[in-house]
Structure 1
Amino acid sequence: MSFQSSPKNTESADPTAHIQSTSEGSSADDDALVEKRFGLKNEFVREFGNLSTFSFAFSIMGMCSSIATTFNTPLLLGGPASVVWCWFMGSIFNLSLGASIAEIVSAYPTCGGVYSASAWLAPKKYRAIVGWVVGWLNLLGQVAGVASTEFGLATMIWAAVLVARDGDFAVTPGMQYGLFAGLLVVHGFLNSLRTRDLALFTKGFVFINIGITFIIIICLLAMTPRADMQTASYVFTKVDNQSGYQSDGLAFLFGLLSVQWTMTDYDAVAHISFEVRRAAIAAPVALFTAVLGTGIIGWLLNIVLVLCSPDISELPGSSGQAFIEIMRVRIGKTGTLVIWPFVCLIAFFTVQTALQANSRTLFAFSRDHALPDWGFFGRISPWTQTPLAAVWAVVAFSALLGLLNFASSAAVYAIFSMCAVALDISYVIPVIMRRVYQNHPDVVFVPGPFYMGETLGWIVNIIMVLWTAFECIILSFPTYQPLDPNNMNYSSVITVGVMVLSFVWYYVSAKKRYTGPRR
């Protein structure tokens, strides 16, 4: 990958010029070059610097809390080996997604992310339909991401209550949903702040995320007697198939949900590009570094959790969450209840950043007349210089998805799979468009400062497409057998249903006014 230097003179910029960055020019010069090249007027205020941008990218994955939320899936479906090796495998292959999306974000640093980039990556005659498909998949995945992370946070809070009460407490679906909805409202108000306030608020997220992760690792290793630690054979090779499927291999692969759900929303930092200084370099570097860091530190945390865990028959415990149960057994109830609020705080930060990114996508979609709202959600508040209507629309849509909790636990957890599947497919489409049409006269892909080169870029993009196809198939499987309405994986049903309805709407009505992402 290369990070190229650029001339300071933005007057010579044109649509086929490189978006480059230099330490000699000001960030305002670089950002002005981006806006000039695409003929865009930035309606936001650029308040995110390098640290707050990296913290945003790292926090959107919420490594520690995301592992806590999804740890049951690999451990209880595929066993310890699924926890360790699915994370390792996913981390390695997800670098191809991170690098591929970072390259596109660097070339097209606009608030619509991969949705807006599709305007430049497809010929004019396909631009509208490509933008429509990518936009709806990205929007659906992001709303599912906000809803699933907030639901996970509510579950973690109730798990702490169960630990404190030694399991002598019952959480009803109504209680679960009430806390979930209340947290959404709190995040709605926080995201109604000015961009400057959001940047200041975001800046410290990364330190808490990484710091608490290492505190948990150190405490588990220090407080677990050597004789009680699991063997290397148990940690790295034990497969415990509790899925009901005859195939141990398939049960093992269900562990991919944890890493794929954690490492998603790659282009979230792109959605705040118009709020980032020197976005063409800061956004992709923050994105790729966050994927790499999350993969390495997350793998270490997973290994330590399995190493220090009690026998798998004792999990997930009375709280219903294996992660906090392992902490309770090894660190004690008091120590766990001291540390756990910080794990919940990480999830709180994750929703905060996810909601901010999601609202910018909805803003761009509405602005381009892709919604029947007459551009209402595509307006910027004159008081905060942020899309307030889009923020509260995302809160409402996420609250509606949370109603699946009243159907069954399997139904609501399908939101987790839907988040990863919808988003990852939305990332594959512009990458394929870029390669197929990169020399088309309507496209002429021009790299940004983050550029892998032709040979390495082709290899990484091919790996990305193949890996995404594979993991999306796995995540669409029901995780338990025998299959019934209560354990059906509804992620593919909802995703396909929404896309079919969007296609019907497009050809019946929206096609008349929607011409693709605004250039």
Structure 2
Amino acid sequence: MSDTDMELRVGSTSNHASLPKHSGDRQYCSQDDETLRKLGKRPLLQRNFGFMSILGLSCTVMLSWEGILVTSVPSLLIGGPAAVIWAFVVNWVGFTSVYGVMAELASIAPTAGGQYHWVAMLAPQSCRKFLTYLTAWLSTLAWQANAVTASYLIATTLQGIVVLTRPSYIPLPWHTMLLIWANAVFAFAINSTTGRLLARFEGLILLLHLLGFIGILVPLVYFSPHNKASDVFTTLYNNGGWPTQGLAFLVSLPSVGSSLIGADCAVHMSEEIQSAAIAVPQALFYTIFINGSLAFSMIIALLFCITDLSAAEAAADTMFYPFLQVFQSGVKSTAGACVMASIILVLAIAGGIGVYASASRMVWSFARDRGLPFDKYFAKLTKDSSLPVHAIFLTMFVTVILSLIVLGSSVALAALLSLVVGALYTSYLLVCVLTLWRRVTGYFQPFTLAGLDDQIEGLRWGPWKIPEPFGTINNVFACAYSAFLLFWSFWPQVYMPTPESANWSALVYGSVIIFCIIWYAVKARKYFKGPVKEI
């Protein structure tokens, strides 16, 4: 085995006689730093997050039941209510499978680098450095775009609430830009205080995430007139002009599925989590279960309560988001609709804080492995709180700079932000495919409590793993689903799109891929060696 393989291996993290029964078990807390050392990384960040706080961060970053109110509308207009419901079910099953594979890898190597560190462990020697570099750039840029997206959604939701209360208000682009700046500064301020404050904040937000769901679902369902069940579960449209109903359904999949992206934020916070080898996999699964259940319930409620689809569609031109009109017409009260929308706004702001935390850790990790320009600067930590403040500041700065695009064209900004979907899907696909390859070739060895065996060939499973043969079956399905969803994510919503309705993600995604290839061939291959062995 090569020296690189030896450097990237990780074995068991404990000599105890039994596995911990829950993620907060103290016997694993004391082993987190040792796990990092075996991965070649110095334990520098303070472990302020327990299971509940990281679950709160993961749930609010994914923001599924809140986000589905936005992401389901394009699919509803194109494919109809039944398309939205079944598209969500397909994506829920698919993402559960993908996060299952990621949970297994997070148990082996719980590091802030996440996907790109796993690619470095699993890829063949011949293309390891390039695939690691590509995955790192895609993940880093995707999370930066995600931070901008979060700020943009918060800004436009606030403007939509203002329009709802004062129809005479005209939301101008520079208003949107200033609100994006305000949110970016706020997210930077919260993330730059202490990790302990952030952890406590996310634990509180988890409670609000659950209570807010009830606070919106109950009045919406109780006061709104209802559609018939047949209209909701069996009605299909083909308003996109596609040759078949099947194509109309398939192009609606990525839009609905985007509400389930983001649970891997827990992975990028791994080096700040107690008992990370257990807590992170558990957080991934609990997040997809909780948020998937809430989002599915909200979809059903929303589709039963949209009785005037044309009015909801028209509201997108004035209030940005049709759900504001649905709230107003449903509860028949502007004040009530504003309270309901404000709950979503508060949760979106909280989710944006988590997005900034994850995005900054991704920057910090990539800089630590000398993959970014000015890597020494962005890899620095504060002396008192051990936070990557420079990386957090870069995330804020990127948001501020990219928000200037909204002054020229919201279409151009949407095209840039579409990188989130394609880039993250690609990172998911790469790790799933490489894991399956290593799995079927016998590269993984069973988890053991006896400690690391220096003579072992390959990798040891971590303390959390899907039992065989279900692990392999799940891995195969995760590969198929990731490739399938990545393919359809580049399709437009309509058959003959205009520049405004076109899906520009292929252009943005392709440009990033080409840039990475050229830059790696010209320069990066000379200095980037993959995850740096610090100890």
TM-score calculated relative to the size of structure 1: 0.91
3-state SS of the aligned residue for 2:494? coil
> What is the 5 A alignment of 1:335-354?
335-354=336-355
Q: Is 1:108 aligned to 2:109, yes or no?
A: yes
Q: Are 1:168 and 2:168 counterparts?
A: yes
Alpha-carbon distance between aligned partners in 1 of 2:184 and 2:70, rounded to the nearest angstrom: 17
Q: Determine the structure 2 residue equivalent to 1:486.
A: 500
- 205-214 or 296-305: which moved more? 205-214
SS at match of 1:517: coil
Q: Distance in 1 between matches of 2:404 and 2:473?
A: 42
Q: In structure 2, do the counterparts of structure 1 residues 257 and 399 end up closer, same or farther at CA, with 3 Å as the change threshold? A: farther
Output aligned runs, 1:39-438, within 5 Å.
Answer: 39-165=40-166, 167-224=167-224, 228-316=225-313, 317=315, 318-331=318-331, 332-415=333-416, 417-438=418-439
* Structure 1 unaligned blocks of 5 or more: 1-13
TM-score for both structures, normalised by structure 2: 0.89
Residue 250 of structure 1 deviates from its aligned partner by 2.9
Note if contact 2:40-2:532 (Cα within 8 Å) is conserved in structure 1.
no
Which has the higher mean CA deviation after the structures are superposed, 465-474 or 434-443? Answer: 434-443
One of 15, 18, 30 as aligned partner of 2:12: 18
Change (3 A) 1:289 1:446: same
Opposite residue 448 of structure 1, the aligned amino acid is G
> For 1:427 and 1:187, how far apart are their aligned partners in 2?
27
Q: Does the 8 A contact of 2:117 with 2:531 survive in 1? A: yes
C-alpha contact (below 8 Å) 2:81/2:303 kept by paired residues: yes
Going from structure 1 to structure 2, the CA distance change for 1:273 and 1:488 (only over 3 Å counts) comes to same
2:463 aligned with 1:449: yes
Question: How far has the Cα of 1:429 moved from its partner?
Answer: 1.0
Q: Return the alpha-carbon distance in structure 1 between the equivalents of residues 508 and 355 of structure 2.
A: 21
Instruction: Name the CA distance, whole Å, in 1 between partners of 2:461 and 2:144.
Output: 30
Deviates further, 101-110 or 487-496:
487-496
Aligned residue runs from structure 1 range 487-506, under 5 A: 487-506=501-520
- Paired with 2:195 and 2:508, the residues of 1 have a C-alpha distance of 33
Structure 1 residue 407: Cα displacement: 4.9
In 2, the alpha carbon distance for the partners of 1:220 and 1:248 equals 31
- Measure, in 1, the Cα distance between the counterparts of 2:483 and 2:33: 38
1:30 aligns with 31
CA contact (8 A) 1:122 1:443 kept: no
For residues 281 and 363 of structure 2, the distance between their equivalents in structure 1, rounded to whole angstroms, comes to 21
Unaligned runs of 5+ in 2: 1-7, 444-454
- After TM superposition, the structure 1 stretch with the greater mean CA deviation from structure 2, 114-123 or 269-278, is 114-123
Q: Is the 8 A contact 2:66 2:295 kept in 1?
A: no
In the other structure, the counterpart of 2:521 is 507
Q: 1:423 and 1:209 mapped to 2: Cα distance?
A: 24
1:16 Cα offset (Å): 5.2
Partner of 1:3: none
Q: Which whole-Å CA distance do the structure 1 matches of 2:29 and 2:164 have between them?
A: 51
Cα deviation for residue 218 of structure 1 reads 0.9
Q: Is the 8 A contact 1:52 1:199 kept in 2?
A: yes
**Structure 2: distance between partners of 1:193 and 1:442:** 43
Partner of 2:447: none
Equivalent residue letter for 2:294: I
Percent sequence identity over matched residues? Answer: 25
Deviation at 1:264, TM superposition (A): 1.2
**What is the identity, as a one-letter code, of the residue corresponding to 1:216?**
I
Superposition deviation, residue 436 in structure 1: 2.0
1:254-313 CA-to-partner distances (Å, cap 9, x unmatched) read: 433343222112321011111100000011101111011111111111000110112212
RMSD: 2.2
8 Å CA contact 1:74–1:83 kept in 2: the answer is yes
C-alpha contact 1:78 1:253 (8 A) present in aligned 2: no
Q: 1:16 to 1:159 in 2, by over 3 A?
A: closer
